[in-house]
Amino acid sequence: MPTILPGQTDIYAITDSRLSPGRSIVDVATALLAAGVRILQYREKNLKAGQMLEECRLLRRMTHEADACFIVNDHIDIALLVGADGVHVGQEDLPVAEVRGLVGHKTLIGLSTHSPEQARAAAAAGADYIGVGPIFATQTKEDVVAPVGLEYLDWAAKNSALPFVAIGGIKEHNIGEVTRRGARCCALVSELVGATDIAAKVAGLRRATHAHVHTND
């Protein structure tokens, strides 16, 4: 099983070609990995399966060479075909137990959660990590749920039995508040893939994050 989980690294990058101004996914991934991002999730909602498979094969090679973890969102078949390190599913996707039956125990399974009840259910079902959010309002998904705010994050930081990644509307100006409340890993989409200078954006996010590191970490 891959050793890189949320909490073992600080930034969890998610792709979105619609928000990457004129750049190929290879260019974006190259910049993210060169900046030291160690978890990359492929999340493309409006592409044909053949194109997604081709892109995931490229990203699998790139992340392997960079010693980074590669996660595929939703598409379990593509994750298996390319040998991804993990898959990430939502509350309305296939149940974790069913996904486990398909991918086995060497593949990570992440599950989006929006409440303590869902977090507990994820742990009971055998997920490897959870997404906690959306913390703030976000427009990067068409079917996004309402923001859960910081209250659920506070609960997860104190009570989650699983590693978690905070997600949803996280930007350079508010990532410090999110990490101050206990998030050790934050997922970002538009803030990263839409940045003019991805390396500078990653550095800025890390400065903002480290300014709020807990004294007891």
Binding-site positions: 41-45, 73-74, 93, 112, 138-141, 169, 189-190
Element (DSSP H or E) covering residue 201: helix 198-210
Per the annotation, where are the binding residues for Mg(2+)? 74, 93
CA-closest candidate to residue 185, choices 153, 161, 143: 153
**DSSP code for 98:** H
Residues 6+ apart with CB under 8 A from 126: 96, 97, 100, 109
Burial class, 156, CB count within 10 angstroms (exposed 0-12 / middle 13-18 / buried 19+): buried
Q: How far is CA 217 from CA 44, 127, 174, 178, in A?
A: 35, 25, 20, 15
- Cα 134 to Cα 171: distance, rounded to the nearest angstrom: 13
